[in-house]
Chains A and B, each alone.
Chain A
Amino acid sequence: MGRLGWVLRLAAFGLLVAFLTVPQRFAPLFVPFTEYGAPPIYDQGSLLMLALAHLGTVFLATAASTAVAVTLGILVTRRSGAEFLPLSRTLVNIGQTFPPVAVLAIAVPLVGFGETPTLIALFAYGLLPVFENTISGLQSCPPPVVEAASGMGMSARQRLTAVELPLAMPLILEGIRLSLVVNVGTATIGSTVAAKGLGEVIIAGLLSNNTAFILQGGLVTGLMAMLLYDAMAAVERRVLRAAHVA
């Protein structure tokens, strides 16, 4: 992406940090979006804390769903797990039609309000990209390579860790990246069930007709999503280069 890319990245990151730490400095920018003297900057809580809580929820959910999805993906592509493969594929497809809002809403009466239903919804929704990509990645390992590994005397476990997983890594990381970025946006809905996060700012704005709040919540979330997307891409490149895979 070049120098322009780096400049933009640092500028975006700097802007985000500045806004979260000293939001009041940005007040003049948001005044035009308020009516009747409403507060231009979200004042019902610390924006920084909300952003961190938001990220915390997202990371936790993504870490959990990645762990489960990759494990399941590995199990299902082994010979012993092959009978579970057609079902897994179908479930992945079905699961993608489930609106996350529905999962969230169904979880609330079961586990109550707050972080828990949000985590459950994000976990469920984040499973699919990683699961599907793990399966695709492992299945697209060139058969000659896998055969060569067996032929050289590697045990199944060695084959998995030394050959198949590294080759599947690009796709798996891509799935994690997708899951992460989508979760950042979806987590805002969690605030409708009282989870701590940036959705709170947006909903406060909707309730009090304060567009400045809506903009702040939306822009911060969008900015975080973009920066994460970008950062994950850089991590991917680093990991893949270290593994000499790409």
Chain B
Amino acid sequence: MSLRPPTAPRVDRLGSLLGVTALAALVAMPFVDFKANRIASGAARSLGEALPVTSALTVGAIVAAVAAIAVLVTNARVRLFAAVVGIVVVGLAVAAAADALTPPGNRIVRVSPGIGCWVLLIAIALLGTDALARLRPGPAARVACLALTAAALYAGFAHGTFDNLSVMREYAVNASSFGREARQHVLLALGSLGGAVIVGLPLGILCHRVARLRGAILQILNLIQTIPSIALFGILMVPLGALASAVPLAAALGVSGIGAAPAVVALFLYALLPVVANTTVGLGRVSPGVVDAARGMGLTSRQVLLQIELPLALPVIVTGIRIVLVQNIGLVTIAALIGGGGFGTFVFQGVGQTAIDLVLLGAIPTVALAFSSAVVLDAVVDALNRTTS
């Protein structure tokens, strides 16, 4: 490609940054945090202190190799492979460290990843993310990667590899409620989304057809968005409580002043704006020539809407749904404050008890859920766009 004489291999600046950070984290920062029990203060342990010498050296060597690849190798696939190997190794190392530092049969000791481990994982993850971004995988490939990662993690958890880590200890204590809150979280997020789509889609079509309504409706929905979530949850508690006491049937159906009901209604209201706005914009982007041809060919208005306009507006509409789903997964966390359940229960319990493991027990699944939804729905939008352009 170029006529310059061969020089020293070009150093990748991002790779150098990440590589140096990773090595520094490995060597200079605590690898794990050891607590004699849940409320004791933590003591730092480095990699060498946590694992037998050979294992520690192996892990160190692998991390060094990953760092070297990050600095010297430009091939994105190699970097991605190195990053995956690095994360797996570090993950297994911290699990092994937990195993090693926990006396057999002991359930009280708490071992959690230390700052060094987190920094290391994040640095390697950034390396992998960068490599993945450069490879520009298509929608199917992205979903496949997600599925593979999920499967690998599930295998690890099912096998009990991570059981001695403090987060998993919290899980063990809360196992039954975890399942219940998980179901509740997903139900609330999806239920309100479903409601918003059922109401928002026709509303969006209406706004697209009647220009005058569009301004008014979007203004009102924008207004609703500015109300802070806990305020809306709180405000809805009153009318719903009144409804529950006045109409016994409603109470029997589960409507009540506290809990899931005000949360679902509030989430539904918050979800309306993205759905309505994106439906309107999506329909507006359909080429007028296509609509004219469709009408001219004799499709009825309903056929034009269902067969032509909506399918063509679908990428933008699904983008709106993605925004809503991610938003709602986050908002359901806050609904725990009014008894709505979901992962937020653990988050706020953890905050109240200053137990970061409990917080992580709630926060990590929430983030994972939001991230997965975003990846899947983005892939759907991408796939839809590819058929039309």
A contact set with B: CB distance below 8 Å: 33, 83-84, 86-87, 89-91, 93-94, 96-102, 105-106, 108-110, 181, 184-186, 188-189, 192-193, 199, 202-203, 205-206, 211, 214-215, 217-219, 221-222, 225-226, 229
A83–B362 CA distance with the chains assembled, in angstroms? 35
3 tightest Cβ-Cβ pairs between the two chains A and B: A218-B231, A99-B330, A214-B234
Contact A109 B359 (CB under 8 A): yes
Expressed in whole angstroms, the minimum distance between the Cβ of A52 and any Cβ of chain B is 17
B102 within 8 A of A: no
Contact between chains at B234 and A105 (CB < 8 Å): no
What is the total of A-B residue contacts with beta carbons within 8 Å?
141
Which of B233, B235, B330, B337 is A100 in contact with, Cβ under 8 Å?
Answer: B330
Whether B344 and A185, one on each chain, are in contact in the complex, defined by CB atoms closer than 8 angstroms, is no
From known contacts A102-B363, A105-B351, infer whether A211 and B356 are also in contact, taking CB-CB under 8 Å. Answer: no
Decide: A86 and B134 in contact? CB cutoff 8 A.
Answer: yes
B13, B234, B237, B331: most-surrounded residue (chain A CB, <10 A): B234
From known contacts A91-B129, A97-B326, A99-B367, infer whether A109 and B231 are also in contact, taking CB-CB under 8 Å. Answer: no
Evaluate contact between A105 and B363: CB separation under 8 angstroms: yes
State which of A91, A97, A206, A218 has its C-beta within 8 Å of the C-beta of B337: A206
B133 A202 Cβ-Cβ under 8 A = no
Across the interface, do A218 and B228 meet the contact criterion of CB distance under 8 Å? yes
Known: A93-B374, A101-B334, A109-B356. A211 touches B238 (CB 8 A): yes
The answer, yes or no, to whether B271 is at the interface (CB within 8 Å) is: no
Q: Are B231 and A202 in contact (CB under 8 A)?
A: yes
B34 at the interface (CB under 8 A from A): no
Contact, CB under 8 Å: B350 / A105: yes
Interface size class, chain B: 35 or more
Is B229 located at the chain interface by the 8 A CB criterion? yes
Bound Cα distance from A193 to B232, whole angstroms: 19
Give me 16 other A-B pairs in contact (C-beta within 8 A), A105-B362, A189-B229 excluded.
A91-B126, A93-B378, A94-B129, A97-B326, A99-B330, A99-B331, A101-B344, A102-B333, A105-B351, A106-B363, A188-B228, A192-B351, A202-B230, A218-B227, A222-B227, A226-B223
Given A83-B14, A87-B129, A94-B371: A203 touches B330 (CB 8 Å cut-off):
no
Q: Which single member of A94, A99, A110, A229 contacts B226 (CB below 8 Å)?
A: A229
Contacts of A86 in B (CB 8 A): 130, 133-134
- Pick 17 A–B contacts, CB within 8 A, sort by A: A87-B14, A87-B130, A90-B132, A93-B378, A96-B374, A97-B367, A105-B347, A105-B348, A106-B359, A106-B363, A184-B228, A192-B351, A202-B228, A206-B234, A218-B228, A218-B231, A222-B227
Judge if B117 is at the interface, Cβ distance under 8 Å: no
In the bound complex, residues from chain B placing their C-beta under 8 Å from that of A106 are: 356, 359-360, 363
B333 and A101 within 8 A (CB): yes
C-alpha spacing A229/B219, complex, angstroms: 13
A103 CB, nearest partner CB in chain B, Å: 9
Contacts of B350 in A (CB 8 A): 105, 109
B73 at the interface (CB under 8 A from A): no
Q: In the complex, how many angstroms separate the beta carbon of A205 from the nearest chain B beta carbon?
A: 6
| In the complex, B256 has a CB within 8 A of chain A | no
Q: What distance in Å separates the Cβ of A55 from its nearest Cβ neighbour in chain B?
A: 14
Which residues does chain B contribute within 8 Å of A101, judged by CB atoms? 330, 333-334, 344, 347
Q: Which residues of A contact B356 (CB under 8 A)?
A: 106, 109-110
Contacts A96-B326, A99-B367, A226-B223 given: A83-B231 contact, CB under 8 Å?
no
Task: Let me know if B227 and A185 touch, CB within 8 A.
Answer: yes
- Whether A83 contacts B234 in the complex (CB less than 8 A), given A102-B333, A108-B351, A226-B223, comes out as no
Does the CB pair A90–B129 fall under 8 Å? yes
Interface string of B320-339 (1 = CB under 8 A from A): 00000010011101100110
B330 touches A102 (CB 8 A): yes
**Residues A99 and B329 in contact, CB atoms below 8 Å apart:** yes
Q: Which residues of B contact A90 (CB under 8 A)?
A: 129-130, 132-133
B385 at the interface (CB under 8 A from A): no
Within the assembled complex, what's the spacing in Å between the Cα atoms of A68 and B126?
19
Please determine whether A222 and B226 come into contact, CB atoms closer than 8 angstroms. yes
Determine whether B217 belongs to the interface, using a CB cutoff of 8 Å to chain A. Answer: no
Q: Which residues of A contact B373 (CB under 8 A)?
A: 97
| Contact residues of B between 223 and 282, Cβ < 8 Å to A | 223, 226-235, 237-238
Residue of A nearest to B230 (CB): A202
Evaluate contact between B223 and A222: CB separation under 8 angstroms.
yes
Q: Does B366 contact A (CB under 8 A)?
A: yes
Chain A CB within 8 A of B355 CB: yes
Determine if B370 is an interface residue (Cβ-Cβ < 8 Å): yes
**8 Å CB contact of B14 from A84, A99, A206:** A84
In the complex with contacts A188-B231, A214-B234, A225-B366 CB distance below 8 A: no
Chain A residues with CB under 8 A of B355: 109
Taken together as a complex, chains A and B put the C-alpha atoms of A83 and B371 apart, in Å, by 24
Closest residue of B by beta carbon distance from A218:
B231
